[in-house]
Amino acid sequence: MRIEIDHRVRHPEKQHRSDNPIQRKPAWIRVKAPTHPIYLETRDLMRESGLVTVCEEAACPNIGECWSQRHATMMIMGEICTRACAFCNVATGHPNPLAADEPQRVASAVARLGLRHVVITSVDRDDLPDGGAAHFAAVIAAIRAATPDTTIEILTPDFLRKPGAVEIVAAARPDVFNHNLETVPRLYPTIRPGARYFQSLRLLDQAKRLDPSIFTKSGLMVGLGETRSEIGQVMDDLRIAEVDFLTIGQYLQPTVKHAAVDRFVTPDEFAELAAMARAKGFLMVSATPLTRSSYHADADFASLRAARAARLAA
């Protein structure tokens, strides 16, 4: 059998950068290679359905655990992003046209997996007039039609310079509207150069104002050189925008061409950050080295809903 090797460069825009050696991970963030039979079933279903997952494209360390529970975060609008963030493993380039049948394929996969809660994310599509907002809405509508009891969490791009986009998505009424700030404002020029901190913050604020019943959520990576006081300021900014749920996880460097890990934050420090966030009034906080936006999203959504009910009853 002849083995075909793909010699294409995944991140051509990063090839001019100096190499950043990848540091050995501490014991608390090492994970086992996935071998569970349900993991293989989930992988095969994604292949059969022609769907892309951020779990694979972003090289998530939790893929073995999540897929073994049939929890896959589907990435719509293709696998090629128009941005070139220094932390992200998703390929950058010129995306293909949107697939008109993708909403139905996503909904079918959600039904076959029997998901109670699903997370839908996407690449950035700066090439589209609405940034892909209408496509998000179509996916939400298709899932609602196929599995009405499934709760839907979306993790959107920032829709930079796409007026009306957030209104389109909010009108589709996802249960959770997530958009990650990713890092502190000072690091945006090097870590998230195509984005603008206050645009991301404004997006979350708009989503909550458009429909206060939608839970809003955001996430941060740590270990990129941020300070504790900068993290505290971002938490305050998110609370002013009435964001309900904050996730904080360790940045892990995908390749030598990506931003270097400044340091590995200890589990005790994550516990301190979680306590700080709770004190600032978030309904839910998940802060561990392996926390990612969609990690344990189904259980977290149930807890989030219970936390709101308890707060309203107080």
Please report the pLDDT score of residue 254 as a whole number. 87
Please report the pLDDT score of residue 157 as a whole number. 97
How much is the average pLDDT of 241-261? 94
Please report the pLDDT score of residue 5 as a whole number. 35
How much is the average pLDDT of 212-239? 98
Percent of the chain with pLDDT over 90: 68
In the structure, what pLDDT confidence band is assigned to residue 211 with cuts at 50, 70 and 90?
very high
Q: Mean pLDDT lowest for which of 80-84, 111-115, 273-277?
A: 111-115
pLDDT over 70 at 56, yes or no: no
Please report the pLDDT score of residue 35 as a whole number. 66
Apex 58 CA angle, 269 and 238, nearest 5? 50
Please report the pLDDT score of residue 67 as a whole number. 63
In the structure, what pLDDT confidence band is assigned to residue 314 with cuts at 50, 70 and 90?
confident
Task: Measure Cα distances from 162 to 18, 76, 128, 165, 219 in Å.
Answer: 34, 18, 9, 6, 22
How much is the average pLDDT of 263-280? 98
Q: What is the pLDDT of residues 111-141, one digit of tens each?
A: 988 888 999 999 999 999 999 999 999 999 9
pLDDT over 70 at 66, yes or no: no
| CA dihedral sign, ordered 54, 145, 159, 262 | negative
Please report the pLDDT score of residue 7 as a whole number. 37
How much is the average pLDDT of 259-268? 96
In the structure, what pLDDT confidence band is assigned to residue 299 with cuts at 50, 70 and 90?
confident
Please report the pLDDT score of residue 33 as a whole number. 61
Percent of the chain with pLDDT over 70: 86
Please report the pLDDT score of residue 1 as a whole number. 35
Please report the pLDDT score of residue 68 as a whole number. 65
Averaged pLDDT score across all residues of the chain: 89
Please report the pLDDT score of residue 231 as a whole number. 98
